């Protein structure tokens, strides 16, 4: 593991975000560790793309002068491995909220699933989930959603480069998707359920790639902390 970091000049750090951590928590922890090691009061640390608390996987963090490059990483294609559950939906489209509507799944065959996945390729319109950090009228949508307030949402154009079924174990489908910036995998899961005349929600998600960067080269925050404290 690299030990000769140049945090002020700038580093691009790959982390495997833990389950239940927010993206902000990870940035905060790294910033604190770096400030502690350098014995400074301020250091720039930013991330190139949010992950939901219930998602794990690759996050790119930039320090110092490298924070100027964040936009190029945010714009890069992303790859995820996710698992959806058919037969129910949740208001948040993931496990943050409880299942609220239930649907039949007996009519769904493996052939139906394979044909439906083909619909979600190329340029498509997607409705972001109301439980998201997108801002409407200067307010994050999840803040309004948690208060039960209605939010006017507009569909957005996204691009799905690849959508591959990895396994089908009803009512669960595990898939790999390569997609453009701004794609919500929660919304993709919801839309797949709807296209199958049922419902679905995303019960597991891992980001595996951002552009040329892979989760295979990422480190855990615990290992980074141990290295920073011992150096």
Which residues on adjacent β-strands are paired with residue 176?
81, 164
Q: Reduced to 3 DSSP states, what percent helix, strand and coil does the chain have, rounded to the nearest 5?
A: 30, 35, 40
**Do 76 and 181 form a contact (C-beta atoms < 8 A)?**
yes
Which residue in the block uniquely carries the two structure tokens 């309004």? 144
- Catalytic residue (one of 52, 94, 216, 220): 52
Using CB atoms within 10 A of its CB, is residue 182 exposed (0-12), middle (13-18) or buried (19+)?
middle
Name the residue among 156, 220, 210 with its Cα closest to residue 47: 210
Residue 52 is among the residues annotated as catalytic for this protein: yes
- Measured between alpha carbons, how far is 72 from 8 in angstroms, rounded to an integer? 20
Catalytic residues, by residue number, are 52
């Amino acid at each position: 593991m690299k030990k000769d970091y140049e945090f002020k000049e700038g580093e691009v750090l790959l982390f495997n975000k833990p389950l239940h951590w927010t993206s902000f928590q990870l940035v905060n922890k790294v910033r604190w560790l770096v400030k502690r090691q350098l014995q400074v009061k301020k250091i720039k640390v930013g991330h190139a793309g949010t992950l939901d608390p219930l998602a794990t996987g690759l996050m790119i963090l930039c320090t110092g002068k490298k924070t100027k490059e964040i936009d190029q990483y945010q714009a890069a294609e992303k790859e995820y491995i996710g698992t959806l559950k058919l037969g129910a939906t949740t208001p948040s489209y993931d496990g943050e909220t409880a299942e609220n509507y239930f649907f039949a799944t007996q009519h769904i065959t493996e052939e139906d699933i394979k044909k439906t996945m083909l619909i979600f390729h190329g340029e498509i319109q997607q409705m972001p989930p109301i439980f998201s950090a997108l801002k409407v009228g200067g307010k994050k949508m999840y803040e309004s959603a948690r208060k039960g307030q209605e939010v006017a949402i507009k569909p957005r154009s996204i691009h799905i480069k690849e959508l591959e079924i990895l396994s089908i174990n009803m009512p669960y489908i595990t898939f790999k998707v390569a997609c453009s910036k701004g794609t919500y995998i929660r919304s993709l899961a919801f839309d797949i359920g709807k296209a199958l005349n049922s419902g679905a929600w995303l019960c597991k998600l891992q980001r595996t790639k951002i552009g040329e960067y892979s989760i295979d080269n990422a480190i855990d925050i615990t290992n980074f902390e141990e290295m920073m404290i011992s150096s």
